[in-house]
Amino acid sequence: MALNRREFTQKSALAGFALTGAVGVLATAPEALASDEAAHGVPGHADDHADGGHGHHRLGYGPLVADPDGLLALPEGFSYRVITRTGVTRLESGEFTPAKHDGTAAFAGPRGTTYLVNNHEIKGDRAKVEFPVPLAEGLVYDPKAAGGCTVVEVHRDGTVAEWVGIAGTSTNCAGGRTAWGTWLTCEENSDLAGTNGMTKDHGYVFEVDPRDRRANLDPRPLKFFGRYDHEAVVIDPRRGHAYLTEDASKPNGLLFRWVPPQDFEHGRGRLRTLADDAGVLQAARCIDSAGQFVDDLSRATRIGTVYGVDWVDVPDRDARTTPVRKQFADGQVTRGRKLEGMWWADGGAYVVSSYAREESPGAAHDGQVWFYDPKRRTLTLKVLFGVNPAPEQDGAYDSPDNITVSPYGGIVIAEDGEGVQHLIGATDSGRTYPIARNDLNDSEFAGVVFSPDGDTLYACIQNPGIMVAITGPWRRQPRR
């Protein structure tokens, strides 16, 4: 059922969002630019204070201190240790840890252990890759593909074990943690069999169980989620819907929703039982507060912008001849450049658009974080980064990618831009502060996630492929 303007206004009012004044007007202004305060979350320095109703609380953890070992700058009182490193640490089977660490999820294991499922965003023919994901027996989808996932088990005493969760997949970028304790790994590559050395079709989502190695045998693509350049996925634990992002351009990618078959119940191993065409795959179509169609998320130029969302059925989800995003005419769906990480929390999905430039019809920006509320069918802009004029200089942030919700309030963002790379915290009102800086190189951060007990923040530097565990005096952050 389409969402009309009256319904949109009523639902948004219930959610506490303003639809008049600047937000309502600027939501569709194609040349409008966010102010520095809105775009960068200013004031957002470590010494700022905000009154959260219980006195003044300091934002962030203070300035970053350069690392004498040249790897990771952290606030005073924080420390890190390396968990895995490509070409240095080894799997249980003896092979080196694979390259290009990316999306990661954390799961509680027995006796205080933590399981981390770590994507390896490796593309192309494995014969050309120095450190591919090893072809573990029974866990291989396409023997020519170099990507996949490893499972990292961290024990209380600090010892680490690592093994293959899935192999023979391509460009495993992000994904999503399920409510039943598994990881959905996404291929950000849609090569067909016979292309670039591949022997099977790619562009799918696969499920990996960190606790049950037998459940990962004979990997099966979950084709009902569609075949395209997947980035991330989350599952609504109440309604059963899946939400998925597409990192693509020419034209820009789409935000998807998968509606499961009637009476389907999620659970361990249940997705593998579904037919390739099970459920309905849909793409988002947004309207603004005036009821006007929004062609691209770059049209939003102010934090607090709210769009209503309808969902349009995908004609051919397996995209044998035409990519999914090209199956829609102008005016049918809303697009976004580099739709990246997602995280389910607070009753909805946090969604990242990494940047917008000339390929987008709206205003240029260096990152958006949206929140989709499935109950009210609204998409609200929570964080907006203006264009960073000097990414090689420390101090400003750009290009969010992987994302997680912090047990200490707000979100944590992995930066994937030009120049200096950070882990960034952001409050509910969009104010930002630094958590870490890559002092090793200009490689992106990825795989940011807290341990189940909230004591440790895990994160990855994609190249050369390093997973670190960060600990320190975490504390509740102000909401504003």
Could you write out the three-class secondary structure of 232-295? EEEECCCCCCEEEEECCCCCCEEEEEEECCCCCCCCCCCHHHCCCCCCEEEEEEEECCCCCEEC
Please determine, for residue 52, whether its predicted confidence score (pLDDT) is greater than 80.
no
Residue range 192-209, pLDDT digits in tens: 999 999 999 999 999 999
Residue range 110-138, pLDDT digits in tens: 999 999 999 999 999 999 999 999 999 99
Q: How far apart are CA 459 and CA 469, in angstroms?
A: 7
Q: Name the E strands within 5-55.
A: 49-51
CA distances from 460 to 103, 116, 383, 417 (A): 8, 12, 22, 15
Please determine, for residue 13, whether its predicted confidence score (pLDDT) is greater than 90.
no
- Supply the DSSP string of 446-467, one letter for each residue: EEEEE-TTSS-EEEEETTTTEE
Query: How would you classify the pairing of strands 457-461 and 183-187?
Result: unpaired
Backbone angles phi, psi at 466, to 5 degrees: -135, 130
Give the per-residue pLDDT at 446: 98
Query: How would you classify the pairing of strands 432-438 and 445-450?
Result: unpaired
- Cα angle: 120, vertex 121, 124; to 5 degrees: 115
Burial of 275 (0-12, 13-18, 19+ CB in 10 A): exposed
- Supply the DSSP string of 352-392, one letter for each residue: EE--B-TTSSS--BS-EEEEEETTTTEEEEEEEPPP-S-TT
Q: What is the mean pLDDT of residues 214-230?
A: 98
Q: Are 398 and 352 in contact (CB under 8 A)?
A: no
- Give the list of residues 6+ apart from residue 61 with CB closer than 8 angstroms, or none: 46, 75, 76, 77, 78, 433, 435, 472, 473, 475
Q: Are 271 and 264 in contact (CB under 8 A)?
A: no
> What is the 8-class DSSP label of residue 476?
P
In the chain, what's the furthest Cα-to-Cα distance?
63
Query: How would you classify the pairing of strands 280-287 and 306-313?
Result: antiparallel
Please determine, for residue 31, whether its predicted confidence score (pLDDT) is greater than 70.
no
- Summary mean pLDDT of the chain: 90
Residue range 415-474, pLDDT digits in tens: 999 999 999 999 988 899 999 999 999 999 999 999 999 999 999 999 999 999 999 999
Q: Are 460 and 468 in contact (CB under 8 A)?
A: yes
Give the per-residue pLDDT at 3: 61
Identity of the residue numbered 372 = Y
Q: How far apart are CA 193 and CA 189, in angstroms?
A: 12
Residue recorded with tokens 């905000």? 50
Give the per-residue pLDDT at 1: 55
> What is the 8-class DSSP label of residue 38?
H
**How much of the chain, in percent, has pLDDT values that exceed 90?**
86
Query: How would you classify the pairing of strands 172-177 and 160-169?
Result: unpaired
Please determine, for residue 34, whether its predicted confidence score (pLDDT) is greater than 80.
no
Q: How far apart are CA 61 and CA 44, in angstroms?
A: 12
Q: How far apart are CA 355 and CA 387, in angstroms?
A: 9
Please determine, for residue 25, whether its predicted confidence score (pLDDT) is greater than 50.
no
Give the per-residue pLDDT at 27: 21
443: number of Cβ within 10 Å: 18
Q: Name the E strands within 64-208.
A: 64-65, 72-75, 79-85, 101-108, 114-120, 147-154, 160-169, 172-177, 183-187, 205-208
Of 212, 224, 227, 85, nearest in space to 169 by CA: 227
Is the torsion defined by CA of 242, 243, 247, 251 positive or negative? positive
Please determine, for residue 80, whether its predicted confidence score (pLDDT) is greater than 60.
yes
